Amino acid sequence: MIFRKILPHILACLAFLVLMAGYFSPVFQGKTLAQRDVIEFTGTEHEMHEFNEKENRQIHWTGSSFSGMPIWQSSKLNIFSQIHNVIAGTVPAPIWLMFLGFVGFYILLNAFGIKPWFAFAGAAAYSLSTFHMISILAGHINKVYDIALMAPVIAGVYLVYRGKLLRGALITAFFLGMEIYYRHIQISYYLMIMILFWALFEAIEAYRNKTVPDFIKRSAILAAAAGIAIGANIVTLWSTAEYAKSSTRGGSELSSKVAKGEGEGLSKDYAFDWSYGKAESMTLFIPYFYGGGSHEHPGKDSETYKALTKIGFPPQTAEYVLNFFPNYWGSQPFTVGPVYVGAVIFFLFILGLFTVKGPLKWWALSMTILSLFLAWGKNFSAFNDFFFYYVPLYNKFRTVTMVLVVAEIAMPLLGMVALWNIVTGKIAKADALKGLYGATGVTAFLALFFFVAGGSLLQFTSPKDAQLMAGLTKQAKLPPGTLDSVSEALKADRLALFKGDAFRSLLFTLIAAGLIWAFVQEKIKKMWLGVALCVLVIADLWPVNKRYLNNESFAEKKELKKFNFKKTAADIKILADTTKHYRVFNLAGSPFNDGQTSYFHKSLGGYSAIKLQRYQEVVEEYLSKQHIQTINMLNTRYFILPNPQTGQPEARLNPGAAGNAWFIKSLKIVENADQELASLKNFDPKTTAFMDRRFEDKMPQKGDLNFDGNGSIQLQSYDPEELVYSTNSNSEQFAVFSEVYYQPGWNSYIDGVKVPHTRVDYILRGMIVPAGPHKIVFKFEPNSYKIGSIIGLISSILVIVLLAWAIYVQAKANKAKKSEEVSE
């Protein structure tokens, strides 16, 4: 009986797995996606993985990136960490990610009572939204995990408010726990907004229906479920909250940045750099509305190619030049591809606005509008400035286009509920036809209007086009105006793409509308409508996704790893140095956007979107300008530079590297962060250090301090979380340690006794050292891990208890039902 009930769901999941196996077939040929983020993070996290594998030990600080920074690992006592470890290796990553998105939305539709064929169509449409595919291609894996887990969390919330308390609480706790585990805080923030709005609409309904006590009780149950999910992941959340205050997301103390409103978060320009154009929002319905992606270029059969050859470019040169003329003409710095939910889903969403009554419609509509407004960023500053400056935490996030994931859930949910209401007869035939005609008229008119009039309404040019043409004119030494015909040809190619997709969306809209009309008029049966819609949404979304993530996106695993982490002659030379601990500055590439150097060395640079704010300011002010004093104070023993003749990287020893630690002669007190940073411009780090006045309480007396600087201090052992030094001096000294200052977490000990240390030279550690021989130890001991692990264990046990209770209650209910059937 139970198997018969769940069999359709199993078959739906298997069918989607087969589809994704076909889409990602190269993974079965020993290939993998060449995802830049994944490659770079492999280098960034290499030291962490080494300790995991060799010592079965979790580290929470790495010395390999940006001279040292926190690195997050969930506690092994977290049940969600263990679940991930079990399932992560069972199915190839891209297939698993898409399957998880499908299952999550399938659960949501099932919570609304939508049966398998139609749930399959809606879940497939959601999972195949282009934003998911292009995010996978970019290597934003944790983001895709969290996007996939948003829908089942909403399902749990919905079930609790519908009175299915135990089932809803379990689904909420489980999927929210997994959501938090993957720690893409920005996506979780958007999920929180969606849940808060849902609760608001439920509260309004409860007030109208005079069921406020039930609303309060159910909200309390959801709060408890959320508490369990948060508790299990408290290590990650706590450490992230600690780090956020010191990171680039936490703001700056520099007066110049505080004056611009950057004292408590990201700069507005940086946060809104990736803002969707208002008209660009139509990519939800017409994928090539703004030309697609920045890496898509006109082909050899394009008007641009013909124009280039016509003015004298050789065919091979013309083909090469095409690579510099993207089809995308929007205002974003670059984009992999458009956010396209599908013409079918867009049509069903409009159908939902015509036919669905009650809170769901207003929730879905408000979420869609809100996500569009927020995605516009700097293009709708009157609205978004309020969010940036006044809504809690909002100024911690960037790439505001990401908020369109909210619309990606709201639109198919409303659309599929509308369709199911028609299929099950919840909407009278006359009302269904009225809504169908209205939705078809609106959607088809949009597509037809743009197909006919789009060429005169839109420009199909980008501000970058003029720069590209000017650069090519100069490089090719062409007379001014020579490339005017090429500019016009490029516009013509973009227009052709636009019109082709407008017609395509019109066609899919009419087919979907025709199928629903045929069902309402009893021309086809429910099952065939479901099957046809499954085929239609896949036919709609599959080819658009293939424009971006296709077989050419894959490469051989061995070749990819060999290419990305192959030791160069420079690496081999540096690794031959047996000095305990030193740093490398790779100037042969882009040092502050590079995880590969971190794979082999302790790097001054690295790859991370969330760096320590103070370190980033030193990068901006000094390291990016190759300021030798700051390079030396960070114990940079080697430079990697390109050979002038061959261009190959070569290693050069830096004789000025200051070492791991040293005694200075003068500690100078400065008034604030501005002065401390400015003081590094011209100083000798081996003799002088600067300290912000607010750290004076850690010194034996106020004001400048002088020492003789005599004595020895040496690093005895290096561990990313424990550094041991030996010292000997005849008098009290002040030691500067070439390690990044970070609190909370790092504790310092002299001969086993905990003592304070301070921050000097804007980013380093300093300490008063008594006369005589001593052992100094720095240990990374964050309470977020020690205490958080215990909280996480208790919460994980509660998850298991909740699951066991749910199974017991369901088994008891099944047994009672069976007994009742037997007695009847």
In a domain, 347, yes or no: yes
Lowest mean pLDDT among 89-93, 237-241, 439-443, 492-496: 89-93
How much is the average pLDDT of 528-547? 96
112-156 pLDDT per residue, tens = 999 999 999 999 999 999 999 999 998 888 999 999 999 999 999
Share of residues in the chain with pLDDT > 70 (%): 97
Lowest mean pLDDT among 16-25, 205-214, 458-467: 458-467
CA 403 to chain centre: 11
pLDDT at 652 over 90: yes
User: Between β-strands 733-740 and 746-750, what pairing exists: parallel, antiparallel or unpaired?
Assistant: unpaired
pLDDT value at residue 259? 67
pLDDT value at residue 256? 80
pLDDT band at 822 (very low <50, low <70, confident <90, very high): low
What is the rounded CA–CA span in Å between residue 182 and residue 412?
A: 24
What is the rounded CA–CA span in Å between residue 625 and residue 620?
A: 8
pLDDT at 563 over 70: no
What is the rounded CA–CA span in Å between residue 112 and residue 421?
A: 10
Lowest mean pLDDT among 69-83, 150-164, 584-598, 625-639: 69-83
User: Between β-strands 688-692 and 666-670, what pairing exists: parallel, antiparallel or unpaired?
Assistant: parallel
pLDDT value at residue 545? 96
The average confidence (pLDDT) of the chain is 91
> Do residues 661 and 715 lie in contact, with contact meaning Cβ atoms separated by under 8 Å?
yes
Q: Which two tokens stand for residue 135?
A: 């995010």
Task: Report residue 602: phi and psi, to 5°.
Answer: -85, 110
pLDDT at 824 over 70: no
- Owning domain of residue 700: 661-781
pLDDT band at 742 (very low <50, low <70, confident <90, very high): very high
pLDDT value at residue 821? 57
What is the rounded CA–CA span in Å between residue 465 and residue 450?
A: 23
pLDDT value at residue 93? 83
68-96 pLDDT per residue, tens = 999 877 777 888 888 888 887 777 889 99
How much is the average pLDDT of 610-632? 94
What is the identity of the amino acid at 370? L
Task: Report residue 639: phi and psi, to 5°.
Answer: -105, 145
Q: Is 737 helix (H, G, I), strand (E, B) or coil?
A: strand
pLDDT band at 696 (very low <50, low <70, confident <90, very high): confident
What is the rounded CA–CA span in Å between residue 214 and residue 207?
A: 10
In a domain, 25, yes or no: no
In a domain, 672, yes or no: yes
Higher pLDDT, 814 or 519: 519
CB atoms within 10 A of CB 730: 10
Q: Which two tokens stand for residue 243?
A: 């780090």
Question: How many helices and strands, by DSSP H and E, does the chain display?
Answer: 31, 19
What is the rounded CA–CA span in Å between residue 45 and residue 607?
A: 10
* Domains held by the chain: number: 2
What is the rounded CA–CA span in Å between residue 824 and residue 818?
A: 10
pLDDT at 562 over 60: no
Domain final position from 468, 496, 523: 523
pLDDT value at residue 745? 87
Longest Cα separation, the chain? 99
pLDDT value at residue 665? 95
pLDDT value at residue 366? 97
> Do residues 798 and 177 lie in contact, with contact meaning Cβ atoms separated by under 8 Å?
no
What is the rounded CA–CA span in Å between residue 821 and residue 71?
A: 57
Bridge partners of 713? 727
> DSSP letters along 437-489, please?
HHHHHHHHHHHHHHHHHHHHH-----HHHHHHHHHHHHHTTPPTTTTHHHHHH
pLDDT at 732 over 80: yes
pLDDT band at 524 (very low <50, low <70, confident <90, very high): very high
pLDDT value at residue 561? 62
In a domain, 430, yes or no: yes
pLDDT value at residue 101? 95
- Break the chain down into helix, strand, coil percent, rounded to 5: 60, 10, 30
What is the rounded CA–CA span in Å between residue 399 and residue 171?
A: 30
How much is the average pLDDT of 485-501? 94
375-409 pLDDT per residue, tens = 999 999 999 999 999 998 898 898 999 999 999 99
Nearest to residue 46, comparing CAs of 723, 616, 602? Answer: 602
Could you tell me if 518 and 372 lie in one domain?
yes
> Which conformational region is residue 477 in: left (phi greater than 0), alpha (psi within -120 to 50 degrees), or beta?
left
174-221 pLDDT per residue, tens = 999 999 999 899 999 999 999 999 999 999 999 999 999 999 999 999
Bridge partners of 690? 668
In a domain, 767, yes or no: yes
29-56 pLDDT per residue, tens = 888 887 777 778 788 888 888 888 888 8
pLDDT value at residue 565? 78
> Do residues 232 and 78 lie in contact, with contact meaning Cβ atoms separated by under 8 Å?
yes
Bridge partners of 647? none
pLDDT value at residue 809? 78
In a domain, 712, yes or no: yes
Helix (H) or strand (E) holding 434: helix 429-457
pLDDT band at 262 (very low <50, low <70, confident <90, very high): low
Helix (H) or strand (E) holding 727: strand 722-728
How much is the average pLDDT of 739-746? 92
In a domain, 447, yes or no: yes
pLDDT at 336 over 80: yes
In a domain, 766, yes or no: yes
CA 606 to chain centre: 17
